[in-house]
Amino acid sequence: MSIAGIVDLLRGRPRQPIGPDGRMALSDHLRELRARLIRSVLFLILAFAVALFFYQRPHDGLLGLVMGPYNDARDQLGQSTQTTAYVAGATGPLMLPLKLCGIAALVASSPYWLSQIWGFIVPGLHPNEKKWSRIFAAIAGPLFILGVLTGYYVLPKGLAVLIGFTPAGLENLVEFNDYFSFMTRMLLVFGVAFEIPLFVIMLNLAGVVSGKALARYRPWIILGTFVFAAVATPSTDPFSMLMLALPMLVLFLVAEAIARSVDRARGRKRQSAQWDDDEVSPL
C-alpha cells in the first residue's frame, strides 16, 4: 500500500465521494470504521506506554493513586486492626503494572475513542438528534467523573468499616487484585449512578416520562434511591450510602425541574400551533 493509501486509511477518507443525499456506500462505511478502530488502538497503545512511565513516578505515581484509599483506611484503623496488602503468585508482580496501566490507559484515552465512536454515528442522525446528543455527551462525561471522584472520596471509609470486622488477634491480608476489582466496581457504581438523572431527562425529551409523573412518584423515587444506595455500596456504613444517595437525590430534583420546564415549553408550543391552525381554518 502506498503512503497516500495509508494516510487515507488513517483519515477514514471514502474512496467515492458522498452523494448529494448524504449517503455513503457500505464499503466506505466499513472502511471508515476500520480506520477509526486503527486510530483508537494506536492511541490506546500510546496511552499505555505513557501510563507505564508514570506507574511509580512521581510520588508513587499510578500505584500510589490506587493504593491511596487503602492506605487512608489503614491510617483510620490505627493499631486496632492489623492489615497488609500483598501480591500473590509468581506472575503477580508482572501482571500488576500491566493490569493497572491497561485500565489507566483505557480510561485516559476514553475521550479520544469515544469521539471516534461519536464521529462514526453522528452522520446518520437528524439535525435535532445531533443537537441533543451533543448536549448529553457534554454533560454525561463530567457527571461520570464527578461520581467517580465521589466514590474515591468515600472508598477509604468503606474499606475501614469492612476491614474493621477482622476479629481481634488476626491480621487482615488484602490481595491486590481483589482490592483493585473492589475499587473499580465501587467507582463504576458511583459513576453510573450519577448518570441516572440524565437518563430520566432523555426519557422526558422522548415523551416517555413527564415532569408531573416524576413529582407524583417523588416519595417512591426517594425511597428507591436510598435502597439502591444501600445495595450498591459494598460497605455497611451509613456514610457511604448517604454520599451516594444524597447527590443522586439532588440530581433527580434537578432532572424533575428540567422535565417540568420542558413539559411547559412543549405545552406552549402545542397551544401556539393550535391557535395558528384555528386562525387559518375556514369558517
For 31-55, what is the mean pLDDT?
Answer: 92
pLDDT band at 15; cut points 50, 70, 90 = very low
Return the pLDDT at 277: 59
DSSP assignments along 120-146, one per residue: HHGGGS-HHHHHHHHHHHHHHHHHHHH
Does the structure show a pLDDT above 60 at 3? no
pLDDT tens digits, 144-158: 889 989 999 999 988
**DSSP bridge partners of 86:** 175
Question: What contacts 24+ positions apart, CB below 8 Å, involve 176-185?
Answer: 176/85, 176/86, 176/87, 176/88, 176/92, 176/96, 177/88, 177/92, 177/99, 179/70, 179/85, 180/66, 180/99, 180/100, 182/234, 183/66, 183/69, 183/155, 184/103, 185/234
pLDDT for position 2? 53
What is the pTM assigned to this prediction? 0.78
Q: Quick one: pLDDT band at residue 212, thresholds 50, 70, 90?
A: confident
**CB–CB of 12/27 below 8 Å?**
no
Residues 113-137 have pLDDT tens digits of 888 888 887 777 777 767 777 788 7
Does residue 125 belong to any structural domain of this protein?
yes
Residue 241 placed within a domain: yes
Look at residue 48 and tell me whether its pLDDT is greater than 70.
yes
- Residue 162, in any domain of the structure: yes
On whether residue 15 sits in a domain, the answer given is no
In a domain, 10, yes or no: no
**Phi, psi values for residue 86, rounded to 5°:** -145, 165
**For residue 273, pLDDT beyond 80:** no
- The reply to whether 72 falls in a domain is yes
Q: Which domain holds residue 204?
A: 27-268
pLDDT at position 29 = 75
- The model's pLDDT over 236-271, given as tens digits with 9 standing for 90+, comes to 678 888 888 999 999 999 999 998 998 888 888 877
Domain count, the chain: 1
Percent of the chain at pLDDT > 70 equals 85
Task: Determine, yes or no, domain membership for 256.
Answer: yes
Report yes or no on 277 lying in a domain.
no
Of 44-48, 105-109, 178-182, 237-241, minimum mean pLDDT range: 237-241
Higher pLDDT, 93 or 269: 93
- Among the residue ranges 85-89, 93-97, 206-210, 221-225, the one predicted with the least confidence is 206-210
